[in-house]
Amino acid sequence: MKRPGCTRWLTRLAWALVFIDLLYIFLVPADQSFDNVALLVVCTVWIIFSPILASTWLMIRYRSFFRTWPGWITPIVTLIFSMMVSQGVIPIHQPNLGFFFTVLSIVSGWAIGIATIILLWYRDVGLGLIGWAAVLIVWVMMFAWRFQGNLMEGLILALERPNGELVPLWWFGPLTCVIQCIVPLGIIGFLGHTVRLIIREWCTHNPSE
Amino acid sequence: MMDTASEADHKLNVFALPSQTSIIFGLIVAVLLGTVFAGSIGPSPTPLWPLAIGLLLLPLRELLARPEREFARYGLSAAGDALDDLQRFVENQAKAIGLRRTPKLVVSSDKRLKQPYTFGTFRHWYIALNHEMAKKMQEDLLNPDVVPQVEAKLVHELYHFKTGDYWQLGYARELLRITFLLMIWAATFLCGLGFLLLIAAPDFVSFDFVEQLNQIETLTPEMREMIIRIMPSQAAIDQVRQKAAEINLSLVINFAVSATLPFVIIGGLLRGFFWPKLWRMRELYADAGVVHTQGDVKPYLSALTGIPLTFMKRYPSVLSVGQETSDKQTRQIKNRIKDQWRKVCEMIKHHPEPPTRIKCVKDPGHVFDPWFITALLVGSLALLLDILLSSPLTLLYVGSWPMHFSTLMIMVIVALSIIPPIVQGRPVWTDLVKIVAFAMILRLGWALLTIGLLVVLLVLAPGVLDQVLAYAVAATAHFAGHSEQLGFDDLTAFVIKAAVLNTAQVFIIAFVLVSSLILVAFLLRRLLTWYSLPHASQRLMKIAYGIIGVEALCVGLAVLPLLTTMLLNPADLLKPITIGVAFLSLIITAISLLLFLRADKQYAMRCPVCGAEISGTYRIGKSCNTCSELLHPWLTVRYKV
Amino acid sequence: MEAAKFLDQPENREAARTISQHVLAEVEPSELEVSVGLIDPLLDMAAQGEMATADSSDEAGGFGGSDLLVMVVVPLVVTVLGDLLVEVGKVGIKEIKEKLEQRKDAKDLILVASSSNVDAVVRHAQSLRGAGRKKELTRALATALLEYLEVE
């Protein structure tokens, strides 16, 4: 078990990382060219992985929020919004801001997984999540097909786009991300809680006291 | 203790007879699980067996999870050392009533927790209390005048574990909740899927994947080739397209709604009326447990009413025979209507009214419902079952004999419900006929209503009737969405045949029920004269259940199928499976009857002590004329009233 | 007059018991059979100035409440009889009858005494059943008193 002092330092480090990344995103010009390939690689890896690591720790640290339903929905909403920006649905003319939302969409996608793990660790809602996720997919696709036309064609056409943009199917990315998190984690969560309940039933002392 | 052993002193031991709580629990489970299992047998475009397994196992899982939910709900925690005396008292009481484990006391400061209540899993039992109440109870243990009251409350809770109703209610609660949620989910999902297919099918049918692939300029010929190789063959795609074109998706949506809606409605009815009845019944048994344990009604009455025991003890007969001083006819109509309305409102309460509880303690025979309530229970459940079994999920699989499941259910429940009056020596023939008649009247009413509707449509709008029937058949699981070309050649003939067959089935089944129940009643009454059966207290009721089971087997596998086949498909009478199953069940029935007759010759009508012959039927409190030995003492209990 | 002194006399106690039975028989005949044996202990409580409180809880799994009407009727009868004794200034029920025969406002006195005490007793007993039947209780009590005390 980590000592409280260690936890505090890690939290401060995580916030510091977040601050540094924000500084980088907003101060370095978005169209900055790199002569050194190694530097480019390092910066790319840094800008992707450091916010992921920082957000992972912060979510664990503030897990009491993320084990609630509003907490779980927060990264999903963030992903949807940042995808809308990065896909051009909400136009933004500031390149650094655009870059910020692109990084945010990557981090949010990861954060959904962490939030789902935290939620499922504390709450036995795996089966319900999977079930209602299936309902969500079906109804979203139904409305999308109704108002946006043939989705099969749309997805194939999206392959032709130079930047891999999905507009007008921008919602497909967040939906896929959410489902990819929910289904496997939901199954693991459901089975895990079931095993836990069975083990606890056969214990002499019930740890729920 | 009573000094003279007279018949009036011996009260019915409700625990020796079929538990009404278990019967209602069995009904709820049979209606919900039974219909889903019925639907999961045989082919179906919708695989139902996962639903059946899920509905069976998920409530069990939720039952195991209940303690942690209760702990979280009220902020419960273990009682701690400060309440050791109370915990020890609970342990002693648990041992005294023969519990195999002691429930743990858990306490909370939550003001919502006003009374002690029980919950638990199969191996972990809890009694939850408010902290203040627990402290008061512990203090009261030091006052000998108040100890019996505390004991009464705790023994009442302990009896929920003794009778097992804690897990029955836990399972039934979760089954009702999960059925409801699952059906809502299924309806939402299937409707969404149906709409999606409805919208996407034309695009899918006309979509040429290879042509689309060729339009993507960024793909190289090799990549195109690789993707085409991964995709299904053109022939396979054409086959799927053809099947998709044949599907009538509005029928799919219709199937989704009509398959799930009956479960939602019936689950709601079970939850609204039968669920509170289950709760009320368990309380009556727990009350009986208190007076059985304490041998006196006064501590129970004191705990119930709050009247101190010291005041009650001054009067020898607190539950004296009441005086009907008021002629009910003189009560105003307005008040009588209000009384009836109150009775209706009581049907949704979790506890019986205090006068009912006290009456049941005074005379335990009141725990068992009168014939009218039993008739209402079985009649309404049978009707619900008939409607549920007519839903698309199950109609085809029980279509050949839709009334059999509900008929067997009526038979078993009525047979179990006549055991208490037989034990009390009351005649049951008229009650039997009345119960069956009531149940059949409900069914006949339903049959006549549907037939009436068919006839009206036939006369006024035959075209509409044709469409409605075709739609209804197409909505069944077998045809769901496949075709709407299911017209009827001769509508009039169909309506007449349906009217005759359905009406005839009601009367035939009524006759079968009355006959089989009269036979069961006769055998049960005879069984109760087996005074010299060794270990009768453990064996007699099991034999009674065996009699009912064999009778149900005979009726369910031989009598009803043969009669229905004769009525609907006489040509199928000579099928080997029909004859085989009927023959087997008749063999079992014959063997059982021979065993019964043999045992009857050995044990019936003879005193277990002196061997003297005892004539007449059994009634509670009966004793041998020669040696005054109380017969079947395990069916009686004595306590001070 | 204190209830203790009033109920000490056997004829007063008998009057309270009989009137309580009549009221119960009128308002809730189905309860009379099981509650008649509780009248005496409740009278003893009333004599000591105590009142049993009803419990109307219907929480699933709990022990359950006891909201018997007798727990309202008996204290109500004792209270009203006590008020009449104070008003008339007599100790025994026989003397009350005689005194009330002479008074022209006897009927009004009984009606007022019946209606004025119901609220307080129902509230003290915390009886939901009683709260829903106040009019019936008042009417039944007034009728029973008028009948027993032979006031026209």
Q: Which of residues 112-151 of B touch C (CB under 8 A)?
A: 114-119
- Kindly tell me whether chain A and chain B come into contact, counting contact as 3+ Cβ pairs under 8 Å: yes
Residues of A whose CB is below 8 A from B58? 127
Average pLDDT over every residue of B79-95: 94
**HSE-up (13 A, CA, CB side) for residue B455:** 11
More confident of the two residues B185 and B328: B185
Spans of all domains in chain B: 66-316+343-368
Task: Say which residues have a Cβ less than 8 Å from residue C94's Cβ, sequence separation at least 6.
Answer: C11
Least CB-CB distance to C29: which of B115, B315, B328? B328
- Write the CA distances from C149 to B504, C46, C110, C134, integer angstroms: 66, 21, 10, 22
Q: pLDDT tier at B345 (50, 70, 90 boundaries)?
A: confident
- Kindly tell me whether chain B and chain C come into contact, counting contact as 3+ Cβ pairs under 8 Å: yes
Q: Is B120 on the interface with A (CB under 8 A)?
A: no
> For helices C93-102 and C106-125, what crossing angle results, to 10°?
130
Average pLDDT over every residue of A113-137: 95
Q: Which of residues 55-74 of B touch A (CB under 8 A)?
A: 58, 61, 64-65, 67-68, 71
B196 with A141: Cβ contact below 8 A: yes
A201 with B124: Cβ contact below 8 A: yes
Q: Is C59 on the interface with B (CB under 8 A)?
A: yes
Residues of B whose CB is below 8 A from C29? 324-326, 328, 331
Q: Give counts: helices (H), strands (E), chain C.
A: 9, 0
Q: pLDDT tier at B291 (50, 70, 90 boundaries)?
A: very high
Model pLDDT for residues B413-444, shown as the tens digit of each residue: 999 999 999 999 999 999 999 999 999 898 88
Model pLDDT for residues B66-78, shown as the tens digit of each residue: 999 999 999 999 9
B61 with A145: Cβ contact below 8 A: no
Q: Which chains touch C (3 or more CB pairs under 8 A)?
A: B
Give the residue from C100, C104, C112 showing the smallest Cα distance to C142. C112
Residues of B whose CB is below 8 A from A209? 71, 77-78, 104, 106
Q: Is A92 on the interface with B (CB under 8 A)?
A: no
Least CB-CB distance to B67: which of A141, A193, A206? A206
Q: Which chains touch A (3 or more CB pairs under 8 A)?
A: B
- Kindly tell me whether chain A and chain C come into contact, counting contact as 3+ Cβ pairs under 8 Å: no
pLDDT of residue B330: 53
pLDDT of residue B3: 37
Contact call for residues B22 and B169 (beta carbons, < 8 A): no
> For helices B560-568 and B404-417, what crossing angle results, to 10°?
150
pLDDT of residue A207: 47
Q: pLDDT tier at B45 (50, 70, 90 boundaries)?
A: low
Q: pLDDT tier at B60 (50, 70, 90 boundaries)?
A: very high
More confident of the two residues A72 and B43: A72
Residues of B whose CB is below 8 A from A208? 67-68, 71
Average pLDDT over every residue of C19-27: 92
**HSE-up (13 A, CA, CB side) for residue A112:** 24
> For helices B165-206 and A126-148, what crossing angle results, to 10°?
20
Q: How many CB pairs under 8 A join B and C?
A: 122
Q: Is A193 on the interface with B (CB under 8 A)?
A: yes
Please say if the pLDDT value at position B310 is more than 80.
yes
B318 with C31: Cβ contact below 8 A: no
Q: C24-28: long-range contacts (C-beta < 8 A, 24 or more apart)?
A: C24/C69, C24/C70, C24/C73, C25/B323, C25/B324, C25/B325, C25/B326, C26/B326, C26/B331, C26/C136, C26/C140, C26/C143, C26/C144, C27/C69, C27/C73, C27/C133, C27/C136, C27/C137, C27/C140, C28/B355, C28/C69, C28/C133
| In chain A, % of residues over pLDDT 90 | 56
- Write the CA distances from B147 to A154, B136, B299, integer angstroms: 78, 11, 9
Amino acid identity of residue B386, one-letter, is D
Please say if the pLDDT value at position B37 is more than 90.
no
Model pLDDT for residues B500-553, shown as the tens digit of each residue: 777 888 888 899 999 999 999 999 999 999 999 999 999 999 999 999 999 999
Highest mean pLDDT out of A176-190, B232-246, B565-579: A176-190
Model pLDDT for residues C57-66, shown as the tens digit of each residue: 777 777 877 8
Cα–Cα distance measured from residue B356 to residue B56, given in angstroms and rounded to the nearest whole number: 35
Q: Which of residues 62-121 of C touch B (CB under 8 A)?
A: 62-68, 71
Model pLDDT for residues A166-177, shown as the tens digit of each residue: 567 888 888 999
Q: Is A95 on the interface with B (CB under 8 A)?
A: no
Cα–Cα distance measured from residue B204 to residue A149, given in angstroms and rounded to the nearest whole number: 12
Model pLDDT for residues C65-118, shown as the tens digit of each residue: 788 999 999 999 999 888 888 887 767 778 888 887 787 888 888 888 888 888
Average pLDDT over every residue of B258-282: 85
Least CB-CB distance to B322: which of C22, C36, C60? C36
Q: Which chains touch B (3 or more CB pairs under 8 A)?
A: A, C
Spans of all domains in chain C: 3-148
Model pLDDT for residues B359-417, shown as the tens digit of each residue: 999 999 999 988 998 998 888 888 887 777 766 655 555 555 557 888 898 999 999 99
Average pLDDT over every residue of B472-481: 55
pTM: 0.87
Q: Is B317 on the interface with C (CB under 8 A)?
A: yes
More confident of the two residues B474 and B259: B259
Q: Whole-number mean pLDDT of chain B?
A: 84
- Write the CA distances from B590 to B283, B547, B573, B595, integer angstroms: 41, 12, 21, 9
Lowest-pLDDT choice from A64-78, B81-95, B545-559, C49-63: C49-63
Residues of C whose CB is below 8 A from B283? 64
pLDDT of residue B576: 87
Least CB-CB distance to A142: which of B77, B123, B196? B196
pLDDT of residue B320: 60
Characterize B180-198 residue by residue with b for buried, 16 or more Cβ atoms within 10 angstroms of its Cβ, and e for exposed: bebbebbbbbbbbbbbbbb
Please say if the pLDDT value at position B283 is more than 90.
yes
A150 with B189: Cβ contact below 8 A: no
pLDDT of residue B547: 96
pLDDT of residue A167: 67
Task: Say which residues have a Cβ less than 8 Å from residue B492's Cβ, sequence separation at least 6.
Answer: B458
Average pLDDT over every residue of B339-360: 83
| In chain B, % of residues over pLDDT 90 | 47
Please say if the pLDDT value at position A130 is more than 90.
yes
